[in-house]
Amino acid sequence: MNIKKFLSIKIHKSMIQSGIPSKYNVILRPCKKKIFGNYQINGIISAAIHLKMNPNDLAKKVVKNLKLNNILSKITISQTGYINFFLKKKWLSNQINLLMISKKLGLTENIIFKNIVVDYSSPNIAKEMHVGHLRSTIIGDSMVRILSFVGHNVIKSNHIGDWGTQFGMLIAFLKLKNKKIDFLLSDIEKLYKQAQKKYVKDINFTKLAKYYVVKLQQKDSSCLKIWKKIVNITMNYNYQLYNKLNIKLTHRDTMGESKYHDMIPNIIKDLKKKGIAVNNNGTIMIPIKGIQNKKGKLMAIIIQKQDGAYLYATIDIACIKYRYDIFKADRIIYYVDSRQNQYLNQIFQIVRNAKYVPNNLQLEHHMFGMILNKNNKPFKTREGTNIKLNYLIDESIIRAKNIILKKNPLIKTKILEDLSKKIGIGAIKYADLSKNRINNYIFSWEKMLSLNGNTSLYIQYAYVRAISLLKKANINLNNFLNLEISFISSYEFDLAISFLDFEEIIFKIVNKGIPHLLCNWLYKITVLFSSFYENCNILNIKDIKLKISRLKIVFLTSLFLKQGLYLLGIDVIKKI
């Protein structure tokens, strides 16, 4: 249940009954001071001003109409018209018992089912993935999990860069040096770097590279052969990395730039016919209204070069059309860094102008900031090159291993391997996901692997405590599903009431693509659980009713922590 929504709907009804126009929404907030209540309604004052009434009188009227005797207790009204109330323990107990049997941890909202394409990770071929791909991969993966969890049909789309100029350079270079490819990805990357250098210096080579891009895009068989090999080598490497990172992408989700190639000639023809694209001395471009460059000239997006080659933008236009035509997408979300925001918005505008998608199709760029080092500069190696993702993951696993060994020097090797992977990878992911994606963030090993604070390890550790309590208790809670929960302290009450915020958080994330809200919520649950654990006796109590009721809260905590971490792409651990 979404407790705020549930209460708000009921309160809104009584506001209308009290003569308040329906446009005045309920503003429901948790009370800042616990002694006043669990929640506060503070939308009454502005309505009172509008109705030229005394806010206290109006609030009294609303309270009279509330009729929530089974749910609320101790309602108080402040002189200025705030309404504070507590929730009845009995009602909360019922909700908690319902959670015990709920299939989806209390999610009840009926969604409007959608086909949602999520464009994420999308590395470029012929290069190893580096830190720059981390955010798109991790945030995209978490969003795929969350959108699927609420019941949408999610189409994962790994838009790999497999059709660009880099292949012209590589093919030209390989042909020139008469080299066969039977390499590792790291060798290809080296060759690519050499080719890039030559491309800038040597005009003849530039021409040759451009010639080969066009040849490849015309599907010349010898070019295609080399291309395929390079793509396979790169992607096989990437699939291993996804696997290690517990990212849901496989070869089935790889839909690279090359996939849309055959659609392009017709699209260009159509865009010209519609007057959206123009031919400027053999270059086909789409002028962008309202945007000028520094010299005051109108800006345009080029979709075909004079030599016939297509570009990144041409492919993105075709790709959106494909996603609508074939996947019947209702919503397409891009997890791409913020530097491409203007570009993507222009592409969205173009496909809308061309009527390739209906007006109600949602096109969203969920952009994100950069990862920085301690000096606020882009997080790179000492030599100034990009940090390889593979290195980063391994480093995190090693650091996690050292932490575990300090706590438990005699741990068995196999368990150590497994734990350090779960902790190390969880740390990298959580550090990223727990930040508002719009902002840059500073990468810090010390912070992300800390046992205290807003980290995955803190949450994973709480999970260990919860399940070991349940194991020690060894009681089948299913036999006590109807037994009322006794809330004797605020420790258990505060934790239990927070469970009812889960649905609200999940749907905010579904709408806006901001998984850091889930991290914040999990952190809150963990903090509340820790104080409950430290302050309340759970196993050594004689009162069996109290024991069962506390164990139910522990059990639900473990479920929420596990599910919450799963939705972030992080595994739980069973011991440490």
Q: Which of 446, 448, 445, 453 is nearest to 431 (CA)?
A: 448
Residue 52 tokens, joined: 């030229």
Any contact of residue 159 with ligand ARG (CB under 6 A)? yes
Number of residues that bind ligand ARG (CB under 6 A): 8
**Of these, 55, 81, 106, 161, which contacts ligand ARG (CB under 6 A)?**
161
Choices 20-28, 58-66, 118-126, 323-331 (CB under 6 A): range interacting with ligand ARG: 118-126
Any contact of residue 141 with ligand ARG (CB under 6 A)? no
Query: CB-wise, 159 or 215, nearer to ligand ARG?
Result: 159
- Taking CA atoms, 127 is separated from 192, 236, 335, 386, in Å, by 8, 12, 20, 11
Task: Kindly state the smallest distance separating residue 119's Cβ from ligand ARG, in Å.
Answer: 5
Query: CB-wise, 309 or 573, nearer to ligand ARG?
Result: 309
Choices 116-124, 288-296, 397-405, 564-572 (CB under 6 A): range interacting with ligand ARG: 116-124
∠ CA 75-79-80, rounded to 5°: 105
Residue 262 tokens, joined: 């055959």
**Of these, 46, 76, 124, 531, which contacts ligand ARG (CB under 6 A)?**
124
In order, the DSSP letters of 178-191 are: TPPP---HHHHHHH
Q: Which of 336, 269, 333 is nearest to 304 (CA)?
A: 269
Any contact of residue 318 with ligand ARG (CB under 6 A)? no
* 3-class DSSP assignment, residue 278: strand
**Of these, 62, 83, 84, 119, which contacts ligand ARG (CB under 6 A)?**
119
Residue 124 per-residue DSSP state: B
Any contact of residue 366 with ligand ARG (CB under 6 A)? no
Chain centroid offset of residue 308 CA: 38
Chain centroid offset of residue 504 CA: 16
Task: Kindly state the smallest distance separating residue 164's Cβ from ligand ARG, in Å.
Answer: 9
- Give the x-and-dash track for 321-350 against ligand ARG (CB under 6 A): -------------x-x--------------
Task: Kindly state the smallest distance separating residue 232's Cβ from ligand ARG, in Å.
Answer: 18
Query: CB-wise, 122 or 254, nearer to ligand ARG?
Result: 122
What are the residues facing 153 on neighbouring strands? 115
Query: CB-wise, 310 or 532, nearer to ligand ARG?
Result: 310
* 3-class DSSP assignment, residue 467: helix
Count of C-beta atoms within a 10 Å radius of residue 118: 26
Any contact of residue 153 with ligand ARG (CB under 6 A)? no
Q: Which helix (H) or strand (E) holds 331?
A: strand 331-334
Residue with tokens 């040849």: 215
Query: CB-wise, 336 or 466, nearer to ligand ARG?
Result: 336
**Of these, 122, 137, 238, 526, which contacts ligand ARG (CB under 6 A)?**
122
In order, the DSSP letters of 58-126 are: HHHHHHHH---TTTEEEEEE-TTS-EEEEEPHHHHHHHHHHHHH-TTTT--PPP---EEEEE---PBTT
Interacting residue ranges for ligand ARG, rule: CB under 6 A? 119, 122, 124, 159, 161, 316, 334, 336
